[in-house]
Amino acid sequence: MLSELVTFRNWLRRRSPHASTHRHYIYDLVRFFDWCDKPPNAVSVRDVDAFVLHCQAQGHAVATVNRRLAALRAFYAFLDLVSDSAPDQPVIPRRHFIYQGRCLPRDLQDQDIARLFSVIGDPRDRAMFLLMLRCGLRVGEVHALSLPDLFLVPRPGFLPRLWVTSKGAHQRVVYLSPQSLAALQLWLSHRPDIADPAVFLSRRGRRISVRTIQARLAAYSHLSDVSASCHQLRHTFARHMVEAGMPVTSIQRLLGHARIRTTQVYLHISDGQLQADYQEAMETVSHRLALPARGAA
C-alpha cells in the first residue's frame, strides 16, 4: 500500500475512531491506484475521466462509482491539508460525479416479513433482526450495541429504550416495542456471562461482526425464499411508522437522519393521502368516460 494511503488511513482512524470510513475509503483508493498505476502526484483529471469510464464498463452501480470518487477527492483534500507541495485535486465534481436520480427505499412486504421471521428461531438472531425491523437500527448500530446502552427497566411513565451510536459517533435514543423487548430479554437470558460488553456475541464469545450479521440474514433469506437485506428491515420500519401516522420529524429522530429530506423519501412509498386523492379522481374520470367492454362493438 502507498505510504500516503497509510497516513490517510491513520488520520481517518484518529479523527473518527468509531466510524468505518477508513476501511471503505482505503478499499476504494487501493483499487484506484492499482488500476491507475501512478503515484498520487502524477494523477491527472484525465486519469479520473478514464477511471469513471472503466468503472462504468465494468458495470459498477452509480453509487459505487460516486463513492470511489468521493474517497479519491477526500484523499487529495487531505494531502492539501498536510503538505505545502500537495498535488492538484484531480476530481472535479461537476465533471466526474455521475448524476443519480432519487431512488425510493426498497422495503419488504408484510407477507415476506412473516415468512422470513418464521424461520428465525435462534434467540440472538431474532433479537438482532427485530431491532432493525421494530426499532430501525442499522446493521452497524446493532453490531456496536453494548450492555450499558440498554435501559430495559425504566422508571414509571417511560418506555424501555436503547442508546444507539450512529454515523459520525452521534448518539440517539431508540425505544423498544414489546416484541423487540421480549426478543432482547430472551437473548440476554441465553447470552454467555463473559467480560465482553457487547450485547451480541459470536460463537467464539466476541462482539459479532457486521459481516456475520449480514451472512446470518442471507442464510435465513435463502431458507425462507425471501430476498432481504439488513437495510431493507430498517426501510420497512420507516414505512410502518409512516403508515401508522407518525410525524415525519419523529421518524427522522428515531432513524438518526441528519436531514429531514432523507426521511421524507419514505412518504413517497406509503402516501395515504396521495392514494386517496388518486382513487377519488379516478372514480370521477371513470364515471365520466366509461370505456366499452373488451370485444364490444
Query: Across-strand partners of 171?
Result: 165
Query: Across-strand partners of 201?
Result: 207
- Are 96 and 55 in contact, with CB atoms under 8 Å apart? no
**Diameter of the chain measured on Cα atoms:** 83
Active-site residues: which are they? Answer: 138, 167, 231, 234, 257, 266
